[in-house]
Amino acid sequence: MTFALPSWAIRALDLPPEAGPTARDMDALHATIITITFAGTAAVALMTLYYVIRYRRKREFEATPAVVASGKREWIQGALLLGMFLAFWVWGYAQYIHIETPPDHSMVVYVSAKQWMWKFSYDDGQTSNDVLYVPEHRKVRLVMTSRDVIHSFFAPSFRVKQDVIPGRWVNAWLDAAEPGVYPIYCAEFCGVGHSTMLGEIHVLTEAEWAKWRRGADPEEMIARGREAATKNGCFACHTLDGQRHIGPSWSRLYGSQVKLTDGTTVLADEAYLTQSMMDPLAQIVDGYQPVMPSYRGHLQPEDVGAIVELIRSLKDGGGKEPTIALPKLVVEKTGQTTEKQP
């Protein structure tokens, strides 16, 4: 229906240029909905106009018939309309779930937001500020947190928006198909620099991507994770070589199905691992005691990402570290390290 419209109007009505298949799906929904919106409003306006002309007052004191609407017709009309709205909802909800659920085996980038910049940490140990580099035709999962107030990661061309909340790790994912440069905005008011909290997503071609990766040392992130885990006393309870201790071992943990005390199982992915650090009592692994303190507010976001990378690097076992068996006393001591007074 937009064939007769001038190009500026089409640009205004359309969502921004699509960066991938998810965006294209959403645009089909968008086109349908705005067409119906315009049609519905136009119908109401035309109907009103017709009645105003047709039933304009001709004599000053005319009587009008008392019309009583048929209840049956009202119900049918209401039901039809509700049916249409629910159809919109079904369509939109299916897409929503698609947008909110990062696919398996996607590449992971850790995002930490602060007033007023975006910091991206990659699995090869590289970091970048305000520019997110991703390869074309790859699904990229963003594991995000904020260091101060609530921000919102908004990449219009990917139709992705996700509030980034301090103290929580949240997921979003990008469906990057076309190489190019796309904007990132912060969409949740975060203070005086809100409108300057901008970034860019650079979708690189395979060749560019390979070149960008070459500079990095994949071991760097894992080394940092090992350092952070040591500093925070993680090895007091967790081993790297598969030995059972106060907490589950990190060896062969990533990607495995973990059985919980309530009988359910959960996939040990980034979300599970980060949640276990922030809110350890939420999901207790079967056979272990609920003794782990929360590390919410105590770990730098980059450290959390590094520790997860360390665990990921052990997904096929291969921990070279000796088991650090420590007496229970130390567990109590690490419990005390969670103390924090403002």
Partner 1 sequence: MSDAELADTPPTHDHYATLEQQAAAVKIALAIFLASEALLFTGIFALVVAYQSDWPHAFQIGIAHNTKVLGSINTGVLLISSTLVAVAVDAQRAGRRVLAGSLTLATAVLGIVFLVIKMTEYAQHFSEGIYPGGRGHFFLEHPEHGLPTFWSLYYLATGLHAVHVTVGTGILVYRGIRVFKGSLQHSLEASALYWHFVDVVWIFLWPIFYLA
Partner 2 sequence: MTVAADLPIPPGAEPAKKSFLRAKTTFLSWALTTDHKRIGILFFFATTLMLALGGLFAMLIRIEHLTPGPTIMTAETYDRMFTLHGVIMVWLFMIPSIPTTFGNFILPLQIGATEVAFPKLNLASFYVYLLGASIVILSLFLGGIDTGWTFYVPYSAHTPARVLPTCLGIFIVGWSSIMTGVNFIATVHTMRVKGLRWMKIPLFTWAIYGTSIIQILATPVLAMVLIIVGIDHAFDWGMFDPARGGDPVLFQHLFWFYSHPAVYIMILPAMGVVSDVIPTFARKNPFSYRAIVYSTLGIAFVGFLAWGHHMFVAGISTFDAGAFGVLSMMVSIFSAIKVFTWVGTLKNGSISLKAPLLYVFSFFFLFTFGGMTGVALATMALDVHWTDTYFVVAHFHFIMVGGTFTGFLAALHYWLPKVTGRMYSERWALIAWALVTAGFAVTFTPQFFLGNGGMPRRYYDDPPQFQWLHVTSTVGSWALGAGMVMVLVYITYSFFRGAPAGPNPWGSRSFEWRTASPPPERNFQGPVDFAIDAYDYTTPQEPE
Chain positions contacting partner 1, by CB under 8 A: 279, 281, 293-294, 296, 336, 338-342
CA pair distance 136, 212, nearest whole angstrom: 13
In 3D space, the residue among 330, 335, 251 whose CA is nearest the CA of residue 298 turns out to be 335
CA pair distance 108, 74, nearest whole angstrom: 53
Pick 320 or 340: Cβ nearer partner 1: 340
Pick 56 or 340: Cβ nearer partner 1: 340
* Contact partner at residue 281 from partner 1, partner 2, none, CB < 5 to 8 Å by partner kind: partner 1
* Contact partner at residue 85 from partner 2, partner 1, none, CB < 5 to 8 Å by partner kind: partner 2
Q: Which residues contact 122 (CB under 8 A, 6 or more apart)?
A: 109, 110, 128, 133, 216, 221
The dihedral built from the CA positions of residue 76, 79, 81 and 84, taken in this order, carries a sign that is negative
Q: How far is the CB of 320 from partner 1 (least distance, A)?
A: 34
CA pair distance 250, 112, nearest whole angstrom: 24
* Contact partner at residue 293 from partner 1, partner 2, none, CB < 5 to 8 Å by partner kind: partner 1
Q: How far is the CB of 249 from partner 2 (least distance, A)?
A: 29
In 3D space, the residue among 160, 166, 165 whose CA is nearest the CA of residue 134 turns out to be 160
Q: How far is the CB of 155 from partner 2 (least distance, A)?
A: 9
Determine which helix (DSSP H) or strand (DSSP E) holds 134, and give its type and residue range. Answer: strand 131-135
Q: How far is the CB of 226 from partner 1 (least distance, A)?
A: 26
Pick 47 or 210: Cβ nearer partner 2: 47
CA pair distance 23, 248, nearest whole angstrom: 40
* Contact partner at residue 194 from partner 2, partner 1, none, CB < 5 to 8 Å by partner kind: partner 2
* Contact partner at residue 35 from partner 1, partner 2, none, CB < 5 to 8 Å by partner kind: none
142 three-class SS? strand
Pick 176 or 292: Cβ nearer partner 1: 292
CA pair distance 242, 131, nearest whole angstrom: 38
* Contact partner at residue 288 from partner 2, partner 1, none, CB < 5 to 8 Å by partner kind: none
Count, residues in the chain: 342
Beta-sheet pairing, 127-129 with 117-122: antiparallel
Pick 7 or 215: Cβ nearer partner 2: 7
Pick 291 or 324: Cβ nearer partner 1: 291
* Contact partner at residue 37 from partner 2, partner 1, none, CB < 5 to 8 Å by partner kind: partner 2
Q: How far is the CB of 298 from partner 1 (least distance, A)?
A: 10
Q: How far is the CB of 301 from partner 2 (least distance, A)?
A: 13
* Contact partner at residue 162 from partner 2, partner 1, none, CB < 5 to 8 Å by partner kind: partner 2
Answer whether 176's CB lies under 8 Å from 137's CB: yes
Answer whether 153's CB lies under 8 Å from 114's CB: no
Q: How far is the CB of 293 from partner 1 (least distance, A)?
A: 7
Pick 109 or 172: Cβ nearer partner 2: 172
The secondary structure of 149-215, three-state, reads CCEEEEEHHHCEEEEECECCCEEEEEEECCCEEEEEEECCCCCCCHHHCCEEEEEECHHHHHHHHHC
Q: How far is the CB of 150 from partner 1 (least distance, A)?
A: 18
Pick 73 or 340: Cβ nearer partner 1: 340
